[in-house]
A and B are shown apart, each in its own frame.
Chain A
């Protein structure tokens, strides 16, 4: 089992979600997040005072998939979230030891 985390532009959430569902992903968790990578922030003005906002709003999608879904999932996110500009976000893939369904204590891949 793999955990795939994608930090994306908030505006791309709907497109990514649809692409993931089309690719066969059944469950996901969406988090509102703030952050920045190499893309730094922007300026905001409040009553003439300039504020540098370096933590920008992002959306983080987390999902756990079976190993075979790895490439399909990554392709779905890349296809939907990419604009080609700085700030498009990142995808992280990591291994997951166990998944447990709280309702009935199912374990492993069937619990995903």
Chain B
């Protein structure tokens, strides 16, 4: 009893000494050199702490986005093709991890994020010249520029990889590699520069038409999805399609892939805040909500139409929701994300079920139906539902109230801006893809021979088989 009283009496003394020490310090006067040094040291410490926190999240996000390509997309697409094409399909995505990385180091990053003009970056950062460990105030001011560079690389990798779903099972490995490498330069780098690059014509900060594209709905999903449609129209159908049945050979692999895509998408969307602050949380929450609502939307639509809720419907719906929320993820309220997801699930399932049948194109793995359609919807829905309360991109008024951001805030003009961004994305994808397909087709030829197609890409392109039962 007594000892407790003594402890209680001693407690203020222990707490008091450090406080007195702090109180004494200002007595030296604010202009004292010692104090100035202390303040500077404190400021530096605070900055370092924030930088460490942000950098930790951004490096993890970069790894998460790479996880989306392999094993996420490789498994998702790999399971959907016939067993004789699984390695060929996986290699198409995996090849991007090699090719685009080297390209990015040489010129890609410079063309996307260098100064340049309104449409494409310059060559000042070629060979990563000047891209060091100091932050670049234009690109996430608290993280090393190399972190930003490597994070953006992961987006540049997955975008062409998404296209491979449209020409699955029928393209030569060599021409695929040449086509997608050139595509990255001709379509991806300019699009990324226009929307995210300094001085880009569609950049939120000072562009002629400020487009809200938080994580790449236009830069990634519209460009890849529309190019996918062009590819499958140009290439024609797989031999035997649609008379011959070509069901997925392993739904289990696709399931694992879709799960990894969903998980990796948190790095894709929440990482696009470029820091570990509240905006990242907002994007994280919206990502989860939209994916869930879209899975429900797709499954419900097909349950009504075909009588059964399928596993492939659930995972396709989730991916459609993720593609659609990408553009809006850092701009909208959680309830808007639910709505966007639900619409994405229903509309994308309709496009995959009905529109594809009606027009008769062979978008083998539905890269257009999911990413092109989802990306386009996402672009417009972001203009409608962007809220200044989540992300006051246009600043705040004198009273501290965010200026109107999307149509939901009264800024209907943003829908026009979004439509311009979408139009640029569609046009660039159509023109660039057509041009490159034509050039590659006339020089080295795009399609495999009929015999190679029948044998499968695994054997004909790589001399391997995905499944070996001789072990």
Q: In whole Å, how far is A55's beta carbon from the nearest beta carbon of chain B?
A: 11
Contacts of B316 in A (CB 8 A): 47
Contacts of A51 in B (CB 8 A): 245, 247
Contacts of A52 in B (CB 8 A): 245
A47 near B245 with CB under 8 A, answer no
Q: Is A48 an interface residue (CB 8 A)?
A: yes
For chain A, what secondary structure do more than half of its interface residues adopt (helix, strand, loop), or is it mixed?
strand
Highest count of chain A CB atoms <10 Å: which of B242, B247, B305, B354: B247
Contacts of B242 in A (CB 8 A): 49
Q: Is B465 an interface residue (CB 8 A)?
A: no
Q: In whole Å, how far is B187's beta carbon from the nearest beta carbon of chain A?
A: 27
Roughly how many angstroms separate A47 CA and B316 CA in the complex, as a whole number?
A: 8
Q: Is B312 an interface residue (CB 8 A)?
A: yes
Q: In whole Å, how far is B182's beta carbon from the nearest beta carbon of chain A?
A: 30
Q: In whole Å, how far is B414's beta carbon from the nearest beta carbon of chain A?
A: 34
Roughly how many angstroms separate A8 CA and B353 CA in the complex, as a whole number?
A: 36
A44 near B305 with CB under 8 A, answer no
Q: Is B308 an interface residue (CB 8 A)?
A: yes
Q: Is B3 an interface residue (CB 8 A)?
A: no
B238-262 vs A, Cβ < 8 Å mask (1 yes, 0 no): 0000100101100000000000000
Q: Is B449 an interface residue (CB 8 A)?
A: no
Q: Which of B305, B312, B354, B357 contacts A46 (CB 8 A)?
A: B312
Q: In whole Å, how far is A53's beta carbon from the nearest beta carbon of chain B?
A: 8
Contacts of A47 in B (CB 8 A): 312-313, 316, 352-353, 366
Q: In whole Å, how far is A42's beta carbon from the nearest beta carbon of chain B?
A: 12
Highest count of chain B CB atoms <10 Å: which of A44, A49, A50: A49
Question: Are A45 and B308 also in contact (CB < 8 A) when A51-B245, A51-B247, A52-B245 are?
Answer: yes
Q: Which residues of B contact A (CB under 8 A)?
A: 242, 245, 247-248, 302, 305-306, 308, 310, 312-313, 316, 349, 352-354, 357, 366
16 further A-B contacts with Cβ under 8 Å, apart from A45-B310, A47-B353, are: A44-B247, A45-B302, A45-B306, A45-B308, A46-B248, A46-B310, A47-B312, A48-B305, A48-B352, A48-B353, A48-B354, A48-B357, A49-B242, A49-B357, A51-B245, A51-B247
**Complex A-B: 29 CB contacts under 8 Å:** A44-B247, A45-B302, A45-B306, A45-B308, A45-B310, A46-B247, A46-B248, A47-B312, A47-B313, A47-B352, A47-B353, A47-B366, A48-B302, A48-B305, A48-B306, A48-B349, A48-B352, A48-B353, A48-B354, A48-B357, A49-B242, A49-B353, A49-B357, A50-B306, A51-B245, A51-B247, A52-B245, A53-B245, A53-B247
